[in-house]
Structure 1
Amino acid sequence: MMSLRTLSRSAPRAAARFTSAPTAVRSSLVSSAAARPSTFSAALTRTRVSAFSSAAARWAPDNTEVDKELSSKLSSEIQFENEIRENEPEATSVKDFLDSGLFEIEDIPGREEVVLRRTYGNEKITVTFSIADLANYDPEIYDDDAALGDEDIDGTGARKGEEGAEGEEDLDNESGPVPCRLSIVIEKPNQGALSVEATAQDGGLVVDNLYYYKDAAHAHEASADTAHAAQQVYPGPAFGSLDEDLQVLLDRYLEERGITQALAVFVPDYLDAKEQREYLGFLNNLKKFVDA
């Protein structure tokens, strides 16, 4: 990956040298043309064309060997990724969830977002999540944020995961699945929509926020206009500030509509497999471009 980044950084400088050379040649020729009589205009034209052609040839990048090395490296990377894909069968959670037929899945190759759709009575339910969460995940920042509200309730001030009395240590140092954000929209005809922001992590689903919009389009925010309009609407308080019994009932309300623990397990596993597919597609596209 470092060689690709180095190549991309050097490309603009190479392009600048390539574009600057013809300009210098043209400036030189224009100056010489002003000094010559007009009777030599035909000869000057031939000289200008010849000089421009030779300059372009001299400044043409000669990356033949680099292209070959890059193509070879991409081939080995593609082979490696294919071997990983062959040796890692589909996760059981993914197979079971898709086989259940509860949701229809929309996963377009080349796109980051995945959409699940289903109907429940007269309701239309969509669940959207993205592999961008995998790329943007920083475990150090997340762990620091989680630790702020994770103090021990025994009054000692020690946080979970810190060393306890007589050398007791937290043995659970392995990081779990990346937390994945879910955007859930439940629509009813002529009744607007509920918009739910949730996080799937460690096999559980946590509702972060739940909003109500009279206009269902505000829940989707499909355009800049609808997103701006949604910001001007009062959608309700933060989910955590609601009465605890109300929170429990809303959780059960979502579970009846398929927003369950099975979904929370499925999403991270599916995104992990999708990210690997998209990366392999990126490598193949890059190799085709280099080889063309």
Structure 2
Amino acid sequence: MSALRQFKGLSNALRTVSLARSASTAVPARASIAARLAPRAAASASRVAARAFSASTSARSEGSSDAALSAKLQEELTYEETNTEGAAPGTTPEFLKAFQEQGIWTIVETQGSDEVTLTRKFGNEQIKLVFSISDVDQNQEDEFPTEEEDGEMNEDQPFSYPIRTSITITKPSSKGALVIDALAQDGAFLADSIAYYSDASVANGAGAEADWARRGLYFGPQFAQLDVAVQEEFERYLSERGIDESLALFIPDYAEYKEQKEYVSWLSNVKTFIDV
């Protein structure tokens, strides 16, 4: 019995020594792993900080020419707003005030669009006239009065930019529409063609589908090919509906005015984009 007890005591002592050795070797192992991971964690944190710094510095343009371009845009913007009638925000030129006071035509236009629409009612007719400011000719050589045959300048003859117009006349009592294409210039409408559509939706339609529906339709002869008496009656017909000399003078003026407004808006928008 004493020998057996001695053997068990020796066995327990050996187990205790073994566990102590295991514990002493395990702790340095864990410390070694932590030590190996520490440089990686520091490098990762450094990369995150670098990315954050890079993002913050690229949020604003740093081009060397930005400041100079912005200054020139502001210089041009100030000049246009100061020296052009109606270009400054909140101002309206006198010719436009006089036109609006007549209360005949309603102007429909959207900032950023180059298309302008004038609408009015005449009896049971709805009249719509559309033109584009892209027709404004900026060539300085075209801004002088015309020269007469004797070589002298005719300063009394009105001058204006030629603007293409499309005039549509519809009636609720008819499904059809009359469409007149004409040039507004020098206080007159010069008709090019007068087309009749049996379906007004085809005449007023926009897009590829409407263009396809208009293909192959007979639009009538060129206005100049009509009998002179018929031409004269058509001119009276249009004049009675307010498509006359005063409107032909207003349209080029308004096209130039809107083109100037759009240019000023463009300068402002581009400058803002450069500055941010």
TM-score, with length taken from structure 1: 0.66
Contact 1:187 / 1:193 at 8 angstroms: preserved in 2? yes
Long gaps (5+) in structure 2 = 1-39
CA–CA distance in structure 2, aligned partners of residues 235 and 261 of structure 1: 26
1:272 has 2:233 as partner: no
TM-score, with length taken from structure 2: 0.69
Secondary structure in structure 1 of the residue aligned to 2:251: helix
Call closer, same or farther: CA 1:218–1:170 in 2, change over 3 Å: farther
Call closer, same or farther: CA 1:223–1:96 in 2, change over 3 Å: same
The count of corresponding residues between Structure 1 and Structure 2 is 228
CA–CA distance in structure 1, aligned partners of residues 163 and 115 of structure 2: 12
Larger Rg: 2
Indicate the residue corresponding to 1:171 in structure 2. Answer: 153
Long gaps (5+) in structure 1 = 1-42, 143-159
Q: For residue 73 of structure 2, what is the amino acid of its counterpart?
A: L
CA–CA distance in structure 1, aligned partners of residues 273 and 93 of structure 2: 33
1:252 has 2:236 as partner: yes
Contact 2:126 / 2:171 at 8 angstroms: preserved in 1? yes
Q: Root-mean-square deviation (CA), in Å?
A: 3.8
Call closer, same or farther: CA 1:86–1:254 in 2, change over 3 Å: closer
Q: For residue 112 of structure 2, what is the amino acid of its counterpart?
A: G
Higher mean C-alpha deviation, range 63-72 or range 89-98: 89-98
Indicate the residue corresponding to 2:108 in structure 1. Answer: 106
User: Percentage identity across aligned positions?
Assistant: 38
Secondary structure in structure 2 of the residue aligned to 1:209: strand
Indicate the residue corresponding to 1:200 in structure 2. Answer: 184
Contact 1:193 / 1:216 at 8 angstroms: preserved in 2? yes
CA–CA distance in structure 1, aligned partners of residues 229 and 265 of structure 2: 47
Secondary structure in structure 1 of the residue aligned to 2:181: strand
Contact 1:93 / 1:265 at 8 angstroms: preserved in 2? no
Q: Deviations over 1:57-109 (max 9, x none)?
A: 9xx79743311111111111111111013588855443322211101111211
Indicate the residue corresponding to 2:135 in structure 1. Answer: 133
Q: What is the CA distance between 1:161 and its match in structure 2?
A: 5.4
Q: What is the CA distance between 1:227 and its match in structure 2?
A: 1.4
Q: What is the CA distance between 1:275 and its match in structure 2?
A: 1.0
